[in-house]
Structure 1
């Protein structure tokens, strides 16, 4: 089935990006959102208080503990975790609405969140792990950001080793040794995954119409 614009209608996909801090995931996500018309960022729900300048529905959906616990109980979250007494999760409803409309959704989650989501929506997920070119370069990037003291950088480096060890749980792995090349690789993944047969629900009807005149029906 073709849309009014002449494109094959399709189901959207869930693009999951994970990486250790400093590998470039935030920059890559921002560039993808700027360049990809049918891609939007998933908005998480959280129990933490709203910070100055944050906007409801853009940065987070802010809820109380009872509401969050009810969402967990009702399986309304694709993934969730608690960090320093504050809980975070991905609401399933808005994601499903986007997928049905043929729009792709971008997720910035760690490997644990990625695994939870894969258990819930394996056929919709395309997961990419972003590696740094070396541990020395990763540490250099963390230090040149100038935001973290030395002890925080050391903790991030120790955590990075654990995160990197889970690379084999992802569909694709790219090395961010050059930002533009890394972006090109991830865009190529998007292009290929968007035309997977199972993501084109109208394909069977379209092919049937194409072949009907030659079957003698």
Structure 2
């Protein structure tokens, strides 16, 4: 996704080129209304509520845009790395995150600029439906080796079809659920879906805190 000739995939559709995002931020500093819409505030609240830990050591958020969700994640992490392909978005995110010394915001592409090392949390918010088959497969394949032994991936995506996107959010989450990661939480409504997956099966929050010791008896009286 670093130029205008990305690998063909997604049923013949290419990953969106960088120019798409440059044009979006050229026309507006908040082209998707991340800072103004109730829809976004509600989605961020549900996204943060889905996390299984109150705090994470290290986190990575590719496609951070102008940093609205990043500002919330900064309060839950010791170190947060944010990237976006748009220099304008990165500039705006840096302004929003000014004062958060533990946050590093960089220009970077989710496919070609994936960082080395392991993270306790990777947040994939509204980014993977921009990718074709080859790029999506490449990102998903990196996830297990990019997580610490107890690390989590949180993915959240818009479910409605957007004509210019290579795929829908549902297709993204179907692909993620087919990965080797262990599912731990899921939420969906008409508009968006959330999945939390971990590198190992660490049990529920209640189990980790010693509230229960057995598998939950779902569906029993």
**Does the alignment reach a TM-score above 0.5?**
no
Q: Scaled by the length of structure 2, what TM-score is found?
A: 0.35
Q: Could you say which structure has the higher strand fraction?
A: 2
Structure of larger gyration radius: 1
Instruction: Specify which structure has the bigger relative contact order, considering alpha-carbon pairs within 8 angstroms and separated by 6 or more residues.
Output: 1
Which structure features the higher share of helix residues?
A: 1
TM-score (norm 1): 0.36
